Amino acid sequence: MSEPTFDLTYIWAAIIAFGVIMYVLMDGFDLGQGILFMFAPSEHDRDIMMNSVAPVWDGNETWLVLGGAGLLAAFPLVYTIFLPALYIGVFLLLAGLIFRGVAFEFRFKAHSSKYLWNWSFAIGSTVASFAQGAVVGAYIQGFETENMRYVGGALDWLTPFTILTGLGLVAGYALLGSTWLIMKSEGATQQWAYRLVKPLLAIVLIIFGIISVWTPFVDEFVAERWFSGFSAIWLLPILGLACAYWIFSSVNKKREGSPFVATMGLFIFTYLGLLASKWPYVVPPNYTLADAASAHESQLFLLLGLLFVIPIVLVYTAWTYWVFRGKVKADQGYH
Amino acid sequence: MELDPLLLSRIQFAFVVSFHAIFPVFTIGLASYVAVIYGLAFKTNDPKWERLGAFWTQVFAVVFGMGVVSGIVMSFQFGTNWSNFSLATANFLGPVLSYEVITAFFLEAAFLGVLLFGRGKVPNGVHFFAALMVSIGTFISSFWILSANSWMQTPAGVEVHDGIYHVVDWAAAIFNDSFWYRFAHMALASFLTGGFVVAGVSAWFLIQKRDTELHRKALSMTLWLLLFLTPLQVFIGDLHGLNTLKHQPTKVAAMEGNWETQTGAPLLLFAIPDQEQQKNHFEVGIPKLASYVLTHDWNGELPGVKEKPPELQPNVPIVFWSFRIMVAMGLLMVLVSVVGLFLRRKRAYMNSRWYLQTLRLMTLSPFIAVLAGWFVTEVGRAPYLIYGQMTHAEGVTPSLTGGMSLFTLIGYFLVYACVFAAGAYYLTRVIRGGTESTEQHEDDKHRAKRPLSAAEASFD
């Protein structure tokens, strides 16, 4: 094989990184509805919560499946080490997503069995969110590998640290969900959502704070990166905190759209901070992007199709959100 | 007893893939049927086709929804339980499986919404076009999946460096030696599945005397289709078998229950293969027929299972009996279709209660045949994941323990049991709802653009 003229690995890294944050932001706010679901004051609020995400949630999960398949094609080592290492967690994630997905389908059709689908939606969403947070924690921790294989135990991913990151993401998604709900609802439901934001923001900041302090102790590489002199990456947590303040002030001013935008900002800067901590390692502590990449011709073969499809998916997604703009009412979307 | 992660992983994969496979074969056949119905509606402007199309679109929506849910699990199985295999083959299987995902999403994004929710909102021609594109999309999806599976059966177009497969010829790898046979066999199987389900449901409506004029038309059409497709499937299946004999003789030997290489091998109607003793008990067969079928020569030589040492043999009883179940179902389908032709005089098939009841029961036959067929081809290639090159034992996730795999096996079993019990229950409600009223009666702008939202029946 001739040496590739142009390395596609970094293009693929950008695509996957983009897919992940798209997934986190978009599925985040609808998972958030599930996390908050059983805390809602009334069935009426639950109807509004579900309706506020019903037309878009499955498109949001598209990014997860696309990311999974894309990983196998572009960075097989990530796929074949993460999945065995997170074996039990992946099961919980999938089971959670299945139960909440089915709840979306059947709750609209159910009458006397509605409570069943309520719980299915709430528990499924919470478990799936926790599992995703634990994945992030496991990624920070790193994996025990030998000769490109995972050699650790079944529950290595479940440590106090990953439990904390799991809870952190549950709180984070709940925050995204509550600010989304402010934007999409009115009246009593919106008032309830407003009341949720500050306590959730406090929990998120506390947990994110503990994680940030803890991470350098979990991983020396991260400590080295952040504390070996000041660099531009310190801008990221500062911008993150600025977003947190923006959430706080915009809720005080009873803004409707800004809290959600600010929460997305908080997520984006946290995410970039995480990437900056680990770059260029994708399977810490041993393997970099280049180690994990698939063959050039395989990356190219799939890229051709993806370049054609991603714009279509983006346009379709944008169109769906556009059609669905404005406030949601309880009696729309089911009967 | 020691829990064997390899065996448990194989059972788990067999379970989730069998469960999943039911839905795609159903949706592929049904999508084509829906496209045909809307084509007729478009051409004739007859509202009865609209009504029939709307009914089957609802059924399609529910089955499609369940297929999507079970498919998500499939895309993670390769990594969780078969990571060594995935790492070795990612250069080929990664792009191929991703193209399947891309196709599915493209289809869902662009056309499924129009098919499910666009009736009355877009011109009939556009609606028909969407139905057509959805049905083509389901075929493209299965194209990629079957290419991946066929490549594992007859690998081609690749080189191995340091244990990792590299694609040197995409066309050779995608259109490998067994691909077209498998694709044709599965495409027809999907048509037959759709056909027998439509026939069975129409028969049920006729027995119930509901909307009889419409379902007579549907049944008549479907019976003509089945009359041609069932024998064609036998023919294609035979070609597929000959192709298998060429590339995987041991699989064919197991299908025939043929332990010793011999000339003039009998076609066994019954036998109890004994893997331990490497022979059959209670053989009943037709002399020389197997040789004739497979070599077109009464005294042709048929390879035996014992050409391979016991550790490289597949489980003969499973392959042998799965094959017989599949063939029996196939022949039964031919028989029922031909009987339908004889009952055409004076439209007897529409009034004959026993025939309608038979059709109703035959609804299950294609599903049994499809699963049995997959058991033949998948168990029959054991112990290989990639035929002749990588065994199951080499492909399994090295860090996997028996306890982990048992946990998820039970877990997936419970999840599927809950979810699909609900789905199957709901499907029967949709079907019972019938064709009499399938009007969509609301502005669905704010509704989930989910497949199931296209169905109107209430859950409880």
Burial A123-156 (b: 16+ CB within 10 A, else e): bbbbbbbbbbbbbbbbbbbbbbbeebbbebebeb
* A188 vs B441 pLDDT, higher one: A188
Predicted local confidence at residue B442, as pLDDT = 45
CB contact under 8 A, B90 and A72: yes
| Tokens at B355, concatenated | 């025939």
Asked if B455 is an interface residue toward chain A (Cβ–Cβ < 8 A), one would say yes
Predicted local confidence at residue B1, as pLDDT = 57
Asked if A55 is an interface residue toward chain B (Cβ–Cβ < 8 A), one would say yes
What ipTM was predicted for this assembly?
0.89
State the sign of the Cα–Cα–Cα–Cα dihedral A39, A41, A43, A44.
Answer: negative
Residues 29-68 of B with CB under 8 A from A: 65
* B68 vs A28 pLDDT, higher one: A28
Evaluate whether B245 touches B297 at the Cβ level (below 8 Å). no
Residues 283-322 of A with CB under 8 A from B: 294-295, 297-298, 301-302, 305-306, 309, 312-313, 316, 320
Whether residue B5 has pLDDT greater than 50? yes
Chain A residues closer than 8 Å to B75 by CB: 65, 68-69
Evaluate whether A106 touches A121 at the Cβ level (below 8 Å). no
| Tokens at A63, concatenated | 């990014």
Whether residue B448 has pLDDT greater than 70? no
Whether residue B29 has pLDDT greater than 50? yes
Asked if A15 is an interface residue toward chain B (Cβ–Cβ < 8 A), one would say no
| Tokens at B244, concatenated | 């298998």
| Tokens at A261, concatenated | 């935008």
CB contact under 8 A, B99 and A85: no
Asked if B15 is an interface residue toward chain A (Cβ–Cβ < 8 A), one would say no
Evaluate whether B319 touches B309 at the Cβ level (below 8 Å). no
3-state helix/strand/coil string of B108-145: HHHHHHHHHHCECCECHHHHHHHHHHHHHHHHHHHHHH
> Which of B13, B58, B66, B105 to probe by mutation at the A interface, max A CB count within 10 Å?
B105
Residue-level pLDDT, tens digit, chain A, 335 residues: 445 557 899 999 999 999 899 999 999 999 999 999 999 999 999 999 998 888 788 777 778 877 888 899 999 999 999 999 999 999 999 999 999 988 887 888 888 888 999 999 999 999 999 999 999 999 999 999 999 999 999 999 999 999 999 999 999 999 999 999 999 999 999 999 999 999 999 999 999 999 989 988 888 888 888 888 778 888 999 999 999 999 999 999 999 999 999 999 999 999 999 999 988 899 999 999 999 999 999 999 999 988 888 888 888 888 878 888 888 876 654 33
CB contact under 8 A, A313 and B106: yes
Q: Is residue A206 part of a domain?
A: yes
Asked if B116 is an interface residue toward chain A (Cβ–Cβ < 8 A), one would say no
Predicted local confidence at residue A111, as pLDDT = 83
CB contact under 8 A, A105 and B93: no
Q: How far is A232 from chain B (nearest CA, A)?
A: 36
Per DSSP, A148 falls in state: T
Chain A residues closer than 8 Å to B408 by CB: 87-88, 91
Predicted local confidence at residue A216, as pLDDT = 87
Q: Is residue A1 part of a domain?
A: no
Residues 225-284 of A with CB under 8 A from B: none
Contacts made by residues A320-325, CB under 8 angstroms, sequence distance 24+: A320/A55, A320/A56, A320/A59, A320/B449, A321/A56, A323/A55, A323/B445, A324/A55, A324/A56, A324/B445, A324/B446
Per-residue confidence band for B67, with pLDDT thresholds at 50, 70 and 90: confident
Largest CA distance in chain B: 70
Evaluate whether B79 touches B395 at the Cβ level (below 8 Å). no
| Tokens at B191, concatenated | 């048509």
- The percentage of residues in chain B with a pLDDT greater than 90, rounded to a whole number, is 69
Asked if A76 is an interface residue toward chain B (Cβ–Cβ < 8 A), one would say yes
Predicted local confidence at residue B439, as pLDDT = 52
> Alpha carbon B149 to chain centroid distance?
13
Whether residue B110 has pLDDT greater than 80? no
Nearest residue in chain A measured CA to CA from B442 = A333
| Tokens at B309, concatenated | 């040492």
Residue B190, burial from CB neighbour count under 10 angstroms (0-12, 13-18, 19+): buried
- The span from the CA of B307 to the CA of A292, in Å, is 41
Note down the domain range covering A176.
9-323
State the sign of the Cα–Cα–Cα–Cα dihedral A133, A136, A141, A146.
Answer: positive
- The span from the CA of A17 to the CA of A10, in Å, is 10
Q: Is residue A218 part of a domain?
A: yes
- The span from the CA of B180 to the CA of B1, in Å, is 43
Which among B298, B300, B314, B296 is positioned nearest to B262, based on CA atoms? B300
Provide the 10 A C-beta neighbour count for residue A219. 20
CATH number at residue A247: 1.20.1630.10
Q: Name which of B100, B412, B460 is nearest A111 (Cβ-Cβ).
A: B460
| Cβ-Cβ contacts under 8 Å for A133 (sequence gap 6 or more) | A162, A165, A166, A167, A168, A169, A170, A172
| Cβ-Cβ contacts under 8 Å for A60 (sequence gap 6 or more) | A23, A26, A27, A30
Predicted local confidence at residue A117, as pLDDT = 92
Residue A295: half-sphere exposure toward Cβ, Cα within 13 Å = 24
CB contact under 8 A, A77 and B87: yes
Mean pLDDT of all residues belonging to chain B: 90
Chain A residues closer than 8 Å to B407 by CB: 88, 91
Find the radius of gyration of the CA atoms of chain A. Answer: 20
- The span from the CA of B265 to the CA of B295, in Å, is 10
Predicted local confidence at residue B124, as pLDDT = 85
Chain A residues closer than 8 Å to B72 by CB: 65, 94, 97-98
Identify the bridge partners of residue B280 per DSSP, sorted by sequence position: B273
CA distances (Å), A253 to each of A174, A258, B229, B305, in order?
A: 21, 10, 68, 79
Nearest residue in chain B measured CA to CA from A74 = B94
> Reduced to 3 states, what is the DSSP secondary structure of residue A280?
coil
| Cβ-Cβ contacts under 8 Å for B278 (sequence gap 6 or more) | B259, B305, B306, B310
Residue A257: half-sphere exposure toward Cβ, Cα within 13 Å = 3
Residues 208-267 of B with CB under 8 A from A: none
Chain A residues closer than 8 Å to B409 by CB: none
Chain B residues closer than 8 Å to A58 by CB: 448-450
Evaluate whether A68 touches A92 at the Cβ level (below 8 Å). no
Per-residue confidence band for B453, with pLDDT thresholds at 50, 70 and 90: low
Whether residue B459 has pLDDT greater than 80? no
Q: Is residue A3 part of a domain?
A: no
Asked if A328 is an interface residue toward chain B (Cβ–Cβ < 8 A), one would say yes
- The span from the CA of B171 to the CA of A183, in Å, is 50
Nearest residue in chain B measured CA to CA from A66 = B101
Nearest residue in chain A measured CA to CA from B77 = A83
- The span from the CA of B285 to the CA of B271, in Å, is 8
Residues 123-182 of A with CB under 8 A from B: 148-154
Of A58-67, A116-125, B44-53, B208-217, where does the model show the most confidence? A116-125
State the sign of the Cα–Cα–Cα–Cα dihedral B11, B15, B20, B26.
Answer: positive
pLDDT (tens digit per residue) in B242-266: 999 999 999 999 999 999 999 999 9
- The span from the CA of B190 to the CA of B187, in Å, is 5
- The span from the CA of B144 to the CA of B103, in Å, is 9
Per DSSP, B273 falls in state: E
Evaluate whether B101 touches A69 at the Cβ level (below 8 Å). yes
Among B135-139, B186-190, B318-322, the least confident range = B135-139
Q: Name which of A98, A101, A108 is nearest B453 (Cβ-Cβ).
A: A108
Q: Is residue A117 part of a domain?
A: yes
Task: Count the domains in chain A.
Answer: 1
> Alpha carbon B281 to chain centroid distance?
32
Q: Is residue A4 part of a domain?
A: no
| Tokens at B399, concatenated | 């860090």
- The span from the CA of B383 to the CA of A195, in Å, is 60
> Alpha carbon A306 to chain centroid distance?
22
Report field, pTM of the whole predicted structure over 0.95? no
Mean pLDDT of B171-175: 97
Tell me how long chain A is: 335
| Cβ-Cβ contacts under 8 Å for A49 (sequence gap 6 or more) | A33, A36, A37, A40, A181, A185, A189
